[in-house]
A and B are shown apart, each in its own frame.
Chain A
């Protein structure tokens, strides 16, 4: 399932010491929840671009929603991926 794959990608990219299955798909990724920041987001976006073949852009008005949770990020990747 893509959600698990993305959870693993987040953990591996950012070197987090948590288990992929422990990430609540609905919990916020940034500030609260996993507590990621904008530098983590950049690094994550670079990993996503490498793995799924599309670039996250700053002018996407949905960015706040896309990064709201693991579930929303996975859905976005699903709809944009080229690989």
Chain B
């Protein structure tokens, strides 16, 4: 019943997040960006666990032998997006060059005021969604996330942009999804990250990078129960100030069949995993799940 990985696997990266946030708030983005190099180097050299997590993943996706420079680049990409997150959260998207692709796919689904699910992942930056708020102030986005995470993030967010705290729906309470249902009925967008599972989550097995892998069944179950469209979201860091956002339509909504339910959920989750794999191959260093993602015992990092 523990949210194991939430507490453990990210202890290292959480340290990184805090350090970078503090430095950037204190000294500004240019200084923060400069300091990313020594910080990343220190982290890569002295945290064996971080190194291993990165190396094991990179071995899977890159054809060449993995050296320290690849691992360095991986963590540096992660660190850079953390730094940028501070700017995105405080409404400074003007700072970035954001290339948005497929935005009409999202807007079309929202046209009739029926709401939809925006399904993201830990590939790249989900905070880029904030830029949507700037260009489309009429669209309301609520993020569904675990309370423990929400609290941690809230501490930072409250200081930067108190409005955003209202955008978070904590999951894990019996009535969490009532709030989601009500938001959708108001025509709002529900943001969910669909790649990580907690121990007691409902799960399905899909193929991901040529191996069986467990994914949470929750997002597709929610979409099916509420019969809402699902639009995929990938916010990829391209280096420097450049980001690309991809919106892709996964489904305009489907009806959950009682008998075939798990087959349906597996199929839709597989399609999501396929798109995630596609974008991960395009931007391998944007993968920010620093633990054994394919672990067959249930994705719990050791």
Chain A interface residues (CB < 8 Å from chain B): 15, 29-31, 36-39, 41-43, 45-46, 56-58, 60, 63-64, 67
Complex contact B179–A39 (CB within 8 A): no
Given contacts A30-B174, A42-B177, A58-B175, contact A37 B225 (CB under 8 A): no
Minimum Cβ distance to chain B for residue A80 (Å): 14
User: Shortest 3 CB-CB distances between A and B: which pairs?
Assistant: A58-B178, A58-B179, A42-B177
Given contacts A43-B225, A58-B178, A58-B182, contact A38 B171 (CB under 8 A): yes
Complex contact B177–A39 (CB within 8 A): yes
Which residue from B1, B177, B182, B258 sits with its C-beta under 8 Å from A38? B177
- B94 part of interface (Cβ distance < 8 Å): no
Bound Cα distance from A63 to B179, whole angstroms: 12
Minimum Cβ distance to chain B for residue A72 (Å): 12
16 additional contacts (CB under 8 A) given A39-B218, A39-B221, A67-B175: A29-B174, A36-B174, A37-B201, A37-B202, A38-B172, A38-B176, A39-B202, A41-B175, A41-B178, A42-B180, A42-B222, A45-B178, A45-B181, A56-B175, A58-B181, A63-B178
A15 CB contacts on chain B under 8 angstroms: 258
Chain B interface residues (CB < 8 Å from chain A): 1, 171-182, 200-202, 218, 221-222, 225, 258
Query: Could you list 5 A-B pairs, sorted by A, with CB under 8 Å?
Result: A38-B174, A39-B225, A58-B178, A63-B173, A64-B173
A56 CB contacts on chain B under 8 angstroms: 175, 178
A30 CB contacts on chain B under 8 angstroms: 174
Bound Cα distance from A41 to B176, whole angstroms: 9
A57 CB contacts on chain B under 8 angstroms: 178, 182
Which residue from B172, B178, B202, B258 sits with its C-beta under 8 Å from A42? B178
Complex contact A64–B174 (CB within 8 A): yes
Complex contact B225–A63 (CB within 8 A): no
Complex contact A42–B200 (CB within 8 A): no
Chain B minimum-CB-distance residue to A57 = B178
Bound Cα distance from A42 to B228, whole angstroms: 14
B172 CB contacts on chain A under 8 angstroms: 38
Chain B minimum-CB-distance residue to A31 = B1
A29 CB contacts on chain B under 8 angstroms: 174
Bound Cα distance from A36 to B180, whole angstroms: 18
Minimum Cβ distance to chain A for residue B67 (Å): 43
Chain B minimum-CB-distance residue to A13 = B258
Bound Cα distance from A58 to B186, whole angstroms: 14
Chain B minimum-CB-distance residue to A60 = B175
Bound Cα distance from A31 to B171, whole angstroms: 13
Complex contact A41–B182 (CB within 8 A): no
Chain B minimum-CB-distance residue to A46 = B225
Chain A minimum-CB-distance residue to B219 = A39
Given contacts A30-B174, A58-B175, contact A42 B1 (CB under 8 A): no
B218 CB contacts on chain A under 8 angstroms: 39
Chain A minimum-CB-distance residue to B258 = A15
B222 CB contacts on chain A under 8 angstroms: 39, 42
Point out which of B171, B172, B177 has the most chain A C-beta atoms below 10 A from its C-beta: B177
Complex contact A63–B221 (CB within 8 A): no
Complex contact A38–B221 (CB within 8 A): no
Bound Cα distance from A77 to B200, whole angstroms: 28
A41 CB contacts on chain B under 8 angstroms: 174-178
A36 CB contacts on chain B under 8 angstroms: 174
